[in-house]
Chain A
């Protein structure tokens, strides 16, 4: 009986450890990362993504990088008095236990000077770096934009 209890104890410890580990890994979930298919001659592409902060601490996205682009910047489209403009952000704060969606017509990632044109089906990797030093590489989908995708 004691042996069984011991085994159960070890099992519980192992289970807890794995949960803790899993939490560490998925402190931030990055999903729905997609790059809009664009004419091959354009020198700026756009990516959209969902960032979910599972932790109880505020997270801050400080950079996104990829060897495929000369630089990547966080921008937000603003339409005010019928005039469209973009604001650049040096970082993006994701409050504890919340989700931020970068969507068409709003926050987005500007991908400058693609080394090669991207086609539908390509899976380029973008690396997201957070202020706590965590770096998360994510494979993006290259998709056709739908006019009603907001």
Chain B
């Protein structure tokens, strides 16, 4: 608490809190309020609150060919990015950012999971996904499965994607969401982090989101 208070961003809510505390009333409520204000003030624009979507069961296949479903995201903070391995620019930029974010967050939290979901399962085989994922971080999870299938993560989260298919070859491009989605340990879709992505920004945003959710629950 002391370290939190020393942070200048916390100064005003902290002072308000202290004043109320000094009058001997409503400490708990004011702390709650100050945290609420924090989330709104610090542009956690993508926060889905107060009605986050509850993710329902889904069945996907991970990059090792194993079944991956709701129980695999339960109890964890999952960061999910949708892309395809033949995307040479935006996807690897985002994955490199997430590798950096992950390396930072795992030293503080135990239940962090980074998931890459392909929107191009036709070309992204399990083998391709496996090689792609481990290139960025051995701990990352790669998911495939028909994106249009009922209850797929792609559909539940509402990810836009579009195939620019050409007749002459297999080098088609796919337009897709560039956002990173955060699912909390209670498998609620909590936030959408919009590009451009920078590790520092994501880490800071995540810490605020986590603090906010931890205080709510």
Co-assembled chains A and B: yes
Complex CA distance for A112 and B127, rounded to whole angstroms: 19
Complex CA distance for A82 and B161, rounded to whole angstroms: 11
Would you call B131 and A79 a contact (CB within 8 A)?
no
Within 8 A of B (CB), among A21-40: 36, 38-40
Interface range on chain B (Cβ under 8 Å from partner) = 35 or more
Shortest CB distance B157–A (Å): 12
Q: A97-118, CB under 8 A of B: which get 1 and which 0?
A: 0000000110010111100000
Known: A44-B171, A82-B179, A84-B90. A39 touches B160 (CB 8 A): no
Task: Check A146 for interface membership: any CB of B closer than 8 A.
Answer: yes
Q: A49-78, CB under 8 A of B: which get 1 and which 0?
A: 000000000000000000000010001010
Q: Residues of B contacting A84 with CB < 8 Å?
A: 83, 87, 90, 175-178, 195
Task: Check B128 for interface membership: any CB of A closer than 8 A.
Answer: yes
Task: Check A85 for interface membership: any CB of B closer than 8 A.
Answer: yes
Task: Check A4 for interface membership: any CB of B closer than 8 A.
Answer: no
Would you call A42 and B97 a contact (CB within 8 A)?
no
Would you call B198 and A82 a contact (CB within 8 A)?
no
Known: A36-B88, A83-B177. A145 touches B93 (CB 8 A): yes
Instruction: Name the contact of A86 in the complex, choosing from B89, B177, B194, B196 (C-beta under 8 A).
Output: B89
Interface of B is mostly: mixed
Instruction: Name the contact of A83 in the complex, choosing from B99, B160, B192 (C-beta under 8 A).
Output: B160
Q: B18-55, CB under 8 A of A: which get 1 and which 0?
A: 00000000000000000000000000000000000000
Would you call B196 and A79 a contact (CB within 8 A)?
yes
Complex CA distance for A36 and B96, rounded to whole angstroms: 12
Q: B79-93, CB under 8 A of A: which get 1 and which 0?
A: 000010111111011
Total A-B residue pairs with C-beta atoms closer than 8 Å?
89
Would you call A39 and B135 a contact (CB within 8 A)?
yes
Q: B138-160, CB under 8 A of A: which get 1 and which 0?
A: 00000000000000000000001
Task: Check A17 for interface membership: any CB of B closer than 8 A.
Answer: no
Q: What are some 6 contacts across the A-B interface (CB < 8 A)?
A: A41-B85, A42-B88, A44-B88, A75-B89, A77-B90, A105-B90
Q: A39-B132, A85-B162 are in contact. List 20 more A-B contacts (CB 8 A).
A: A36-B88, A38-B88, A39-B134, A41-B128, A41-B132, A42-B85, A42-B128, A43-B86, A43-B171, A44-B87, A77-B89, A82-B177, A82-B192, A82-B194, A83-B178, A84-B83, A84-B176, A105-B93, A145-B93, A148-B199
| B residues at A contact (CB < 8 Å) | 83, 85-90, 92-93, 96-97, 99-100, 123, 127-128, 131-132, 134-135, 160, 162, 171, 173, 175-179, 192, 194-196, 198-199
